[in-house]
């Protein structure tokens, strides 16, 4: 899976959760600075589970994975290709 595709889908979902235009979401910003709270973040994790068939919520997620949207997309793309 292509990282750009993952980024586009994540931006779409975060845009929905925060009611922002996906285009306005920065790929370099950490998730917690975007305004996501626990509930919205869990919603995002469940979306990733369903969309990319990855159980991120129960796997070990490191702080580096959330440094930016780009990092998360790379992690997803990496895990999905395994």
Partner 1 sequence: MRIPSSPHKRYLNGADWCLRALALGTQKQTGRRLVFAVSVALDASPAASELKRQFVIFCQQFPVLRGRDARCWCLAPYWRYSVSRGPRVPEEIRVGGGVLPESEGSTAFLTRVEQTINQYSLIPGWRVAMEFYQTQDNAKSFVLFLFDHVLFDAKGADSFIQLFLQQVNGAVPALSDAEVRPRADAQLDGWVNRFKNGQQANRCLLRLMNQQTAYLPLPSMLPSRPIRIHEICFTPEEAKRIQERAFAVAGYLMFAPYALATAASAFYPVFNRPEMEGFDYVVSTSTDKQRAATRKRHVFFNDLSFLFFQFPMRAAVQRDTLAAILREQLVQQARDGLPASLEEGNLLMRIFPLKMLWAFLMKFYRNRMSSFAFTSLGEPQMTISEVSGCRVTDYIHFPVIPTPPGLGLILCQHAGKLHAVLSCFEGVITDEEAKAVLARFREKILS
Contact residues toward partner 1 (CB under 8 A) are 17-20, 31-32, 35-39, 41-43, 45-46, 49, 57-58, 61, 63, 65-66
| ∠ Cα 58 65 34 (to 5°) | 105
Pick the closer one to partner 1 by CB: 5 or 49: 49
What SS3 class is residue 6?
helix
Beta carbon of residue 20, minimum distance to partner 1 (angstroms, whole number) = 6
Rounded CA-CA distance 47/50 in Å is: 5
Beta carbon of residue 72, minimum distance to partner 1 (angstroms, whole number) = 10
């Amino acid at each position: 899976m292509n990282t750009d595709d993952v980024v586009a889908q994540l931006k779409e979902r975060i845009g929905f959760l925060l009611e922002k235009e996906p285009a306005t979401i920065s790929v370099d910003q950490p998730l917690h600075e975007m305004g996501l709270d626990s509930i919205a973040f869990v919603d995002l994790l469940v979306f990733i589970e369903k969309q990319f068939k990855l159980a991120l919520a129960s796997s070990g997620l490191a702080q580096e994975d959330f440094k930016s949207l780009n990092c998360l997309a790379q992690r997803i793309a990496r895990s999905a290709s395994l």
